[in-house]
Amino acid sequence: MTKEDDYLLQLNDQQRDAVVYNDGPQLVIAGAGSGKTRVLTYKIVHLLHHGYEPWRILALTFTNKAAKEMRERIQQMVGPAVASQLWMGTFHSIFARLLRFNADLIGFKSSFTIYDAADTKSLVKTILRDMELDDKVYKPATVIAAISNAKNALISPDMYIADSAQMSADERAKRPALGAIYRAYCARCRHAGAMDFDDLLYYTNVLLRDNPDIRRKYQEYFRYVLVDEYQDTNFAQHVIIRQLCEESKALCVVGDDAQSIYSFRGANISNILNLHKSFPALRTFKLEQNYRSTQNIINAANTLIAKNKEQIPKQVFSRNDVGSRIEVVQAYSDYEEAILVANKVSQMQMRSHDPYNEFAILYRTNSQSRRLEESLRNRNIPYRIYGGLSFYQRKEVKDIVAYMRLAVNPDDDEAFKRVINTPARGIGDTTVNRLIHTAMHCGVSMWNVATSLDCYDTGLKSAAIKKVTGFVELVQKFVGMITANASAYDVARSIVEDTRMLASLIHDNTPESISKQENILELLQGISEFVGERMEQSAQETTLVDFLANVSLSSDQDMSDSNGEAVTLMTVHAAKGLEFNNVIVVGVEEELFPSAMSCDTLRGIEEERRLLYVAITRARRHCVITYAASRYRNGQTAPTRPSRFIGDIDRGYLYISPGSEFSRSDSVINPLDNYRDSMGGRMADDRRRSFRHPLVDDEPARSNIHPVNLSSNPVGSSGGTQADGGTHDVADIKVGMRIEHSRFGVGTISAVTSNAPSPTITVAFNVVGEKKLLLKFARFTIL
């Protein structure tokens, strides 16, 4: 080995074999943290050392962050001049580049624009309007998902129309015009000189398929093609790779079937399982040593993933420290869980002295972030939401908050502009601009103009006037509630109902739409809790003004500390490929993780199990899994059960906090139950939740969910009924008694004051600390 090849010494034997192999197509398949990404990185360096020109090496990654990190690492090893010439990036960014060079061949200008999700949505809506289709049947999000799926499966509009087998019979009957919409959508994009994200893959395929000379040119040009995270490629990406490497066979892909977690985006695990069919000379390499995590973490993850039936058998072991066991923590409620998590971060930080950057909190769904953000803020722990927005920055949340702002202050022009046509009610830009112009010109607010249209010369036509008046009447109802001192919760609930913000999403089962629905319900829950807490502590009726003040304080803060260090909050999906010293996986409960939507098939359950495998294997040194015994979700608080996946992990690798479900032998999950659950569609089907909202009464309530309807929320409703609180007599209550509060968990009463008319108790709660509660509102049982 020459001095030049020193970098090869930084690899183990298996990794080195994979790096230096140069005799044909190659698949590196290995478990998490075994150095797959490292092999790709070093292989590129190796190729550069062996005379490959950087501009003839193509490396594709799943995220921009991954590409950036890989480039930086290579740069350290070969210098910036060489590294900067590599073709390295995400599939989309690289193919956009190829398409610009060859745009004329597929009938586009090289200056084509790229439509983002908002552009796509707006175009689909225009088409639906043009075709006079009912957007309740043809929900834009459903149409967009259908178009996207078709493109990722390389199905053209003509094929889609001709071969209606592409659609299920049910879909065909329900939405027969989908093919025509798809065709119109592509035509309009073409006229606008625009491509959406899926087009970047779709047209790259068309370009290579229909232009043999171009295909040959790139086959020769790219002397080596390397792909990270191959398990998550979709069909379109797979076919592009196949076309590019057909001749050269100079292909190296790395992946882990156990980490395939994007099937809802069309990712297909068979791309990796069947790669040898496209490349018969494919040689498979395995890596077995994990360098990232402690032995305990790896062993725990191995026992979990071993429960999946469909997988390529592989070994993963760690020679790092044995490390501590994965800690399993049960909380009483999701509220307490968030506090426990913030406490854990503090404790672990003090013990390890790790900077906050080395902590990640991973959750299954975005709406779980609100409570976590709140408890981290309360503890002054800096955090950052990765790959997404913090709760109050999310569009659907901001829209509802804007209505609240208007209800409190109708002259708030920014809020007015934000929601005058949200959800869409046919008020176009021209109308809005006229209102803005008139308001500016006359020195009044837009609300002022809108409520007295006959007094101003706005130039609006009668149709527009009618629509604006409709909007004004809607907002006036909310303003009226505020004037009548309605509680914050009631106004918020009325906003969600009357604007139909939630109802308009309800029939969409796309992941984006579900996430929005969850966020809206989570916002209502946040308000309900805010109101409830005040009520229990001071019997104060909380107004929307109080709540809004709290929101603006929480969303304006820059939450990273002076070193820019912050705990990372993100979904498990976004955590792929990343690593942290400390990882806390929250909400590991049935119907949440695994998600209720995945419970009815073995395939769904196995994907969720892989997702937890990904989550756990992000941790280098410490991993904590939490679950709550009750959780507010989908508009109701319901008891929850710990995830079957916790029972899948060998007990020897877990430390189970005393008092948790698993520490009691009678309630340990029976492995046979797990098996039946994952196999038996029927049982799971029983529990499967397609979304059900108490605010939208189009489905009967399910009997096995605790029916806590928002309207009977004990502290949220204006009537202030105390359904499950206020039942205790002060004479029964003594200092030293142990109680269990519905949200704060277990605590001991440290003081009782019987001052009429509002006796209070002070309780030292085990987790959330001391709280003073008004007896007549407090919701607890005596233990």
Angle between helices 511-538 and 544-556 (to 10 degrees): 120
Q: Note whether 33 binds ligand ATP by CB under 6 A.
A: yes
Considering the complex, state which of residue 41 and residue 528 has its C-beta at the smaller distance from Mg ion: 41
Q: Note whether 318 binds ligand ATP by CB under 6 A.
A: no
The CB-of-619 to ligand ATP minimum distance in angstroms stands at 11
556, with CB counted inside 10 A (0-12, 13-18, 19+), is exposed
Considering the complex, state which of residue 73 and residue 125 has its C-beta at the smaller distance from Mg ion: 73
CA distance 420 to 423: 8
Q: Note whether 264 binds ligand ATP by CB under 6 A.
A: no
Q: CA distances (Å), 498 to each of 136, 171, 501, in order?
A: 17, 30, 8
Please say whether the beta carbons of 16 and 8 come within 8 A.
yes
Structure-token pair, residue 672: 């046979």
| Residues with Cβ within 8 Å of residue 454, at least 6 apart in sequence | none
* DSSP string for residues in 95-109: HHHHHHHTGGGGT--
Q: Note whether 642 binds Mg ion by CB under 5 A.
A: no
In the shown chain, the binding pattern of residues 186 to 215 toward Mg ion, with x for contact by CB under 5 A and - for none, equals ------------------------------
Closest CA to 536 of 312, 347, 739, 720: 720
Q: Note whether 34 binds ligand ATP by CB under 6 A.
A: yes
Please say whether the beta carbons of 28 and 287 come within 8 A.
yes
Candidate list 18, 19, 27, 32; residue touching ligand ATP; CB under 6 A: 32
Place of tokens 């439509």: 115
Q: What amino acid positions are annotated as catalytic residues? A: 36-37, 228-229, 259, 618
Candidate list 15, 219, 660, 742; residue touching ligand ATP; CB under 6 A: 15
Residue numbers 286-315 binding ligand ATP by CB under 6 A: 291-292
Residue 11: which of ligand ATP, Mg ion, none does it interact with, CB under 5 to 8 A by kind? ligand ATP
Residue 12: which of Mg ion, ligand ATP, none does it interact with, CB under 5 to 8 A by kind? ligand ATP
Q: Note whether 577 binds Mg ion by CB under 5 A.
A: yes
Considering the complex, state which of residue 301 and residue 715 has its C-beta at the smaller distance from ligand ATP: 301
The CB-of-37 to Mg ion minimum distance in angstroms stands at 3
The footprint of ligand ATP on this chain (CB under 6 A) covers a number of residues equal to 18
Residue 33: which of Mg ion, ligand ATP, none does it interact with, CB under 5 to 8 A by kind? ligand ATP
Considering the complex, state which of residue 10 and residue 563 has its C-beta at the smaller distance from ligand ATP: 10
In degrees, rounded to 5, the angle at the alpha carbon of residue 637 between the alpha carbons of residues 635 and 642 is 120
Place of tokens 């929320």: 713
Q: Note whether 323 binds ligand ATP by CB under 6 A.
A: no
Structure-token pair, residue 361: 């909190």
In the shown chain, the binding pattern of residues 34 to 53 toward Mg ion, with x for contact by CB under 5 A and - for none, equals --xx----------------
Q: CA distances (Å), 454 to each of 419, 428, 471, 702, in order?
A: 22, 20, 16, 50
CA distance 446 to 464: 15
Residue 776: which of Mg ion, ligand ATP, none does it interact with, CB under 5 to 8 A by kind? none
Rg (CA), the chain: 29
Q: Note whether 577 binds ligand ATP by CB under 6 A.
A: yes
Specify the 3-state DSSP secondary structure of 725: coil
* DSSP string for residues in 106-127: GT--TT-EE--HHHHHHHHHHH
Length of the chain (residues):
783
Q: Note whether 293 binds Mg ion by CB under 5 A.
A: no
Task: Name the one range near Mg ion by CB under 5 A: 31-39, 110-118, 639-647, 764-772.
Answer: 31-39
Candidate list 25, 35, 179, 587; residue touching ligand ATP; CB under 6 A: 35
Considering the complex, state which of residue 256 and residue 606 has its C-beta at the smaller distance from ligand ATP: 256
Q: Note whether 367 binds Mg ion by CB under 5 A.
A: no
Candidate list 12, 451, 543, 718; residue touching ligand ATP; CB under 6 A: 12
The CB-of-235 to ligand ATP minimum distance in angstroms stands at 22
Please say whether the beta carbons of 639 and 629 come within 8 A.
yes
Interface residues with Mg ion (CB under 5 A) are 36-37, 577
**Residue ranges that bind ligand ATP, judged by CB under 6 A:** 10-12, 15, 30, 32-38, 256, 259, 291-292, 577, 579
